Structure 1
Amino acid sequence: MNATLPSAEVLRATLAGLLDGLPPKQAAQAVERLIANYRGTTPTDAPVLRDRSDVAAYAAYRMPATFEAVRSALDALREAAPDWAPVTHTDVGGGTGAASWAVAGAWEGEEPRTTVLDWAEPALALGRELAELSGIPALRAAEWRRARIGAGLELAPTDLITVSYVLNELTADVRGALVDTAAAAAQAVVVVEPGTPDGYARIIEARDRLIAAGLTVAAPCPHSAACPIEPGTDWCHFSARVSRSSLHRRVKGGSLPYEDEKFSYVVATRFGTQPVVARVTRKPQIRKGQVLLDLCTRDEALRRATVTKRHGELYRAARDVAWGDEWPPPGEDG
């Protein structure tokens, strides 16, 4: 396959080539167990992915969605720090490498040296295979290393650390130790979790620890002060559109050509960034002659903005703005 940068299309094609021939019944059974774990609240001290069939099912079930969620978080980092690019990257609990695929394509002209750490050797093995099949130099050059993802994990200094869909597998004390270790090792830390109330709670916990370690929030929040959401009343999450391949639809039992991945995330850095003035925290409501935007703002408040036709260009911009975007758009007055 000829490719220079990762994309959702390259990932789907690579997955299809590697997983073609996986018995559908076996895949479906493995997916059911993985979904139960993904949605559950019981942490474990053992790898979730036990063998190649588990890993293959996981790759088909989760890699495209994880890729899109992490890519969205990385887009927010690039917007907040347009002049920064990582030279080195560590993917903690990276499994088959979805986050590493996203990092490899996030900075045009840059190919960070990636190290993927995971405690499941079958996941690392399949990740290596996918990287090799991709034909993408940055992925093929990645180092895939077995490591226990826990309180005793040692991380070498690096520019960027990603921790995606990992914290839900860990106990609270181990989660805290892992985030502290990442904060001490990296210039930028990106943490992504499911867009559920529990996932958001883990992100807030990680956010607090990153700030306590001396980092500042670059995204999605416009500030590093306390989250204005009252605990238990709501949760901050976003959505990424994921195109499904026929294989993906078959394994997940879906019929639509796409799905929407809900996720929560935080990006924190040790270098200066330019956080947004405000971010759209829900899907915009487009009504006749007006657009309603739910915003998290730099003054630490949640508010709803009503943009009407009398706002001219700003109204036209509001009709095009998406959930998770900054507001107002660059060059527009609020």
Structure 2
Amino acid sequence: MNVPVRPAETLRDALAALLDGLPSRQAAQAVDRLIANYRGATPTDTPILRDRADVAAYAAYRMPATFEATHSALEAFAQAVPEWAPGSHIDVGGGTGAATWAVTATWPGERSVTVLDWAEPALALGREIAAANPALRAVRWQRSRIGSALTIESTDLVTVSYVLNELTAPDRAALIDAAATAAQAVVIVEPGTPAGYTRIIEARDRLITAGFHIAAPCPHSAACPIVPGTDWCHFSARVSRSSLHRQVKGGSLAYEDEKFAYVAATRLPVSPAPSRVVRKPQIRKGQVLLDLCETDPSLRRVTITKRHGDMYKAARDADWGDPWPPDTRD
């Protein structure tokens, strides 16, 4: 009997096997350096991942979080284009391939997949980890410099996860333009920081200029209603952590919350959410406060009380990042 592959669980098991036997101090030192690079600026001519120890530490530290954040973004995109599934996928700057796992979790089954990255150790380890996922066994792992000279073959979907921070502004612009030229759909994920949000807005603007429609998170393709410098749009994904993962990261909790910003855009017709919950709902006695980004475009806080009946129950179940009212499409 064929047992369905659950990408999140399979990925956690593969990472646990990968880290078995790796000296914890060596992994922790690599993680410290990776955190510094992740939070700072990295020259475009210096790959962050230098050897297998770096890659193993990266996989333990970042891959589960990248998977969950990208999966959340892809799920929101899939809700806006429910009749479509990508037949081909290129993951730009994909490293060990977390976004490819997220795509298989969103749209099960095999497809043509290429991962582009300039760090050969990351590609090699990504290939090794992907052996656990039948949908990824035929992936092309291709070494390529991510910058202004990058060419992207024609494809249905391009993902760019936690990459823009590593690039100069001209290289970021060139990458977005290349993705827009090559793909029917582009999904970009960045850290949920003010700087990450700024990079997402820059990418969003370029995609709109290229003729794309915004599928998520925004319920519109107009300008973002947030006044620059006053706030930033971001979301949160819960990440389960194995005991080995907690050991490498120096934490004790069984989970962490990954804050991320994203844009999902396409040339396809879209049915975006009527509005989206852009902050954690505030549940109070007899009422729920929801901060919404609406189609107008505008930002508005609404109060849902018990008098709203079923809508109140739905509001109590609503999560940060959900469409509102709840999406009832299959």
Please say whether Structure 1 and Structure 2 have the same fold, judged by a TM-score greater than 0.5.
yes
The structure-2 alpha-carbon separation of the partners of 1:13 and 1:111, relative to structure 1 and needing over 3 Å to count, comes to same
User: Which residue identity lines up with residue 263 of structure 2 in the other structure?
Assistant: V
Q: TM-score, normalised by structure 1?
A: 0.96
2 CA distance for matches of 1:43 and 1:291? 45
Equivalent in the alignment of 2:60: 60
Query: Within the alignment, does 1:173 sit opposite 2:178 as a pair?
Result: no
Give yes or no for contact 1:217–1:266 (8 Å, CA) kept in 2.
yes
Which of residues 310, 313, 317 in structure 2 aligns to 1:313? 310
Give yes or no for contact 1:45–1:170 (8 Å, CA) kept in 2.
no
Give yes or no for contact 2:42–2:48 (8 Å, CA) kept in 1.
no
Equivalent in the alignment of 1:238: 235
Secondary structure at the counterpart of residue 105 of structure 1: helix
Which of residues 269, 282, 285 in structure 2 aligns to 1:272? 269
Distance apart, 1:45 and its partner CA? 2.4
User: Which residue identity lines up with residue 269 of structure 2 in the other structure?
Assistant: G
Q: Which runs of 5+ in 1 are unaligned?
A: none
Query: Within the alignment, does 1:24 sit opposite 2:31 as a pair?
Result: no
User: Which residue identity lines up with residue 55 of structure 2 in the other structure?
Assistant: V
Give yes or no for contact 1:282–1:293 (8 Å, CA) kept in 2.
yes
Please give the per-residue CA displacement for 1:90-138, whole angstroms capped at 9, x wherever unaligned.
0000000000011122114x32221000000000000011011x1x222
Greater Cα shift, 263-272 or 8-17: 8-17
**Stretches (4+) displaced over 6 A:** none
Equivalent in the alignment of 1:184: 181
Between the two proteins, the alignment pairs up a number of residues equal to 328
Q: Percent identity?
A: 72
Q: Which runs of 5+ in 2 are unaligned?
A: none
Equivalent in the alignment of 2:37: 37
2 CA distance for matches of 1:27 and 1:159? 37
Secondary structure at the counterpart of residue 106 of structure 2: coil
Secondary structure at the counterpart of residue 96 of structure 2: coil
Equivalent in the alignment of 1:285: 282
Give yes or no for contact 1:5–1:104 (8 Å, CA) kept in 2.
no
Give yes or no for contact 1:43–1:168 (8 Å, CA) kept in 2.
no
The structure-2 alpha-carbon separation of the partners of 1:12 and 1:331, relative to structure 1 and needing over 3 Å to count, comes to closer
The structure-2 alpha-carbon separation of the partners of 1:97 and 1:22, relative to structure 1 and needing over 3 Å to count, comes to same
Q: TM-score, normalised by structure 2?
A: 0.97
Distance apart, 1:3 and its partner CA? 5.9
Equivalent in the alignment of 1:131: 130
2 CA distance for matches of 1:215 and 1:33? 37
Equivalent positions of 1:61-100 (< 5 A) are 61-100=61-100
1 CA distance for matches of 2:145 and 2:266? 25
Please give the per-residue CA displacement for 1:170-209, whole angstroms capped at 9, x wherever unaligned.
0001000000000000000000000000000000000001
2 CA distance for matches of 1:211 and 1:180? 11
1 CA distance for matches of 2:41 and 2:310? 46
1 CA distance for matches of 2:66 and 2:100? 10
Query: Within the alignment, does 1:122 sit opposite 2:108 as a pair?
Result: no
Please give the per-residue CA displacement for 1:134-187, whole angstroms capped at 9, x wherever unaligned.
1x2221111101001110001110000000000000000100000000000000
Give yes or no for contact 1:6–1:101 (8 Å, CA) kept in 2.
no
Give yes or no for contact 2:276–2:292 (8 Å, CA) kept in 1.
yes
The structure-2 alpha-carbon separation of the partners of 1:3 and 1:20, relative to structure 1 and needing over 3 Å to count, comes to farther
User: Which residue identity lines up with residue 62 of structure 2 in the other structure?
Assistant: R
2 CA distance for matches of 1:114 and 1:69? 20
Secondary structure at the counterpart of residue 279 of structure 1: strand
Distance apart, 1:325 and its partner CA? 0.2
2 CA distance for matches of 1:131 and 1:217? 31
User: Which residue identity lines up with residue 112 of structure 2 in the other structure?
Assistant: R
2 CA distance for matches of 1:231 and 1:53? 40
Query: Within the alignment, does 1:324 sit opposite 2:321 as a pair?
Result: yes
Equivalent positions of 1:193-272 (< 5 A) are 193-272=190-269
Give yes or no for contact 1:45–1:169 (8 Å, CA) kept in 2.
no
